[in-house]
Structure formats: structure tokens, C-alpha cells
Chains A and B, each alone.
Chain A
Amino acid sequence: AQTVTQSQPEMSVQEAETVTLSCTYDTSESDYYLFWYKQPPSRQMILVIRQEAYKQQNATENRFSVNFQKAAKSFSLKISDSQLGDAAMYFCAYRSAFPTSGTYKYIFGTGTRLKVLA
């Protein structure tokens, strides 16, 4: 079974600085997707960035980028030029590309709460 681990329950970053959130996962599959979702207080989770395992190039979305290390099973999120609006809970999630069960459920980590200091 696949597992996702986020070892940082909480992180803080100064506004305009860079912060990296860690995520490791365990799987025996070769094809899968990885996601970072952001959940602001009392709001829904929204997708920040996704990475297809077959792609060697790290995904980037504006100030958000990932460091995907497939062999190490590591998928960290880097937020550059942090803004007050980045304060949220961040979830790392795994999804099989070709699940044996036929369903594309997510497997989540426990989340990292990011605080942005003015």
C-alpha cells in the first residue's frame, strides 16, 4: 500500500522569503501523480501544483515549484517570495496512474501548517 509522510506539522516563513515543505512517499508503482493542495482556514483545498511521475522535469507554477526526486521518493514544495495569502495548511497527495482497484483515490499526508510572518 502507498503511504505519504509530511514530517513538518508546522512551518513559519518571513514575508518575501522562501520556504520548502517536505513530503516523502512510499510506493512500488512506477506510474503515479503527486499533488500539493493548499487549504486556507475554513476554505476548500485547492490545487497548487501537480507532478506526473514519468516527467523528469520539475513542475512549476509561478512562485511554486517542486523538487521531485523519484528514486528517493521525495516531493518537496518550494514557495518563493512568500506572501501573507500563502498562509494555509498544505497537503501532499499521491494518486496511482493505473490503480488496480480502478479508482483514482488520493492518499494524503497529515499536512503542514504554514505561517507567514509580516
Chain B
Amino acid sequence: EPEVTQTPSHQVTQMGQEVILRCVPISNHLYFYWYRQILGQKVEFLVSFYNNEISEKSEIFDDQFSVERPDGSNFTLKIRSTKLEDSAMYFCASSEQAVYNEQFFGPGTRLTVL
């Protein structure tokens, strides 16, 4: 059964460094999402992406964040200059359609900013 994959599973970085989190959505899916979960808190929506552009972004998704689908298979989340408060689990999700289909989630990348 197709799955959403994410790499790396764990990323440790120094404050101020750039990180790129990678996701490979299910191949025939058209809608892509990033969520994050700070330890002990809710899973929060960051951004949705469709047709090579951002559909919606949350207040969390400021100018330090960007997303890209560089080659038709990968879907990346870049944090330009990481802060301590960016430490969280980041989940990628994709869906075939928006309305009737559920989202399929990757296993997450745990980002630790020191």
C-alpha cells in the first residue's frame, strides 16, 4: 500500500541554521500539507499546497518558512533561520482529492533546535 514518506526522521540543528524537511507524497495525490506538533500540544496546520502554489498558510507560517515541490515527487518544507521554538514534530500529508478523500500522513520528522 502506498505511503507518505519523510526524511530525515530526526534532525538536530543549531539555532539560526537552515533546515529542509523532505516528504514524498503518494504519487497520484494532488493536495499537500504540512502540520507540526510541539511536544505536548496539538497538531497544528502550517500550510497547504496545490497546483504548485500555496493554498493557505497559518499564522505560524511566516517568512522564515517556505515550501516547494521541486521535481514533481518531493515536497519540501524549508525553515530559513531556525529558532528554539521551531523544535517540534513536522508531519507531511497528502490527499488525492480535497473534498471527499482523507489525508494520508507521513511518520514525521522530529526537529530539535539547540
Contact = CB atoms under 8 A, between A and B. Distances in A.
Contacts of A101: 55-56
Interface in B72-114: 91, 93, 95, 98-99, 102-108
B42 A109 contact: yes
Interface bracket on B: 20 to 34
Dominant secondary structure of chain A at its interface with chain B: loop
A103 B43 contact: no
Contact of A103 (B35, B44, B56): B56
B114 to A, nearest CB: 22
B23 to A, nearest CB: 11
B31 interface: yes
Nearest to B48: A103
B95 to A, nearest CB: 7
Contacts of B44: 108
Contact of B43 (A47, A50, A108): A108
A45 B91 contact: yes
B3 interface: yes
B107 A105 contact: no
DSSP class of B's interface residues: helix, strand, loop or mixed? Answer: strand
Interface stretch (A14-22, A35-43, A55-63, A66-74): A35-43
Given A104-B48, A104-B99, A45 B56 contact: no
Interface residues of A, number: 23
B48 A108 contact: no
A43 B42 CA distance: 17
30 contacts: A35-B102, A37-B105, A43-B107, A44-B104, A44-B106, A44-B108, A45-B91, A46-B105, A47-B104, A50-B102, A91-B43, A97-B99, A101-B55, A102-B55, A102-B56, A103-B55, A103-B56, A104-B48, A104-B95, A104-B98, A104-B99, A105-B45, A106-B45, A106-B93, A108-B42, A108-B43, A108-B44, A110-B41, A110-B42, A111-B42
Interface of B: 3-4, 31, 33, 35, 40-45, 48, 50, 55-56, 91, 93, 95, 98-99, 102-108
Given A37-B105, A103-B48, A106-B45, 8 more contacts: A4-B42, A44-B106, A46-B105, A47-B104, A50-B102, A105-B33, A108-B43, A110-B40
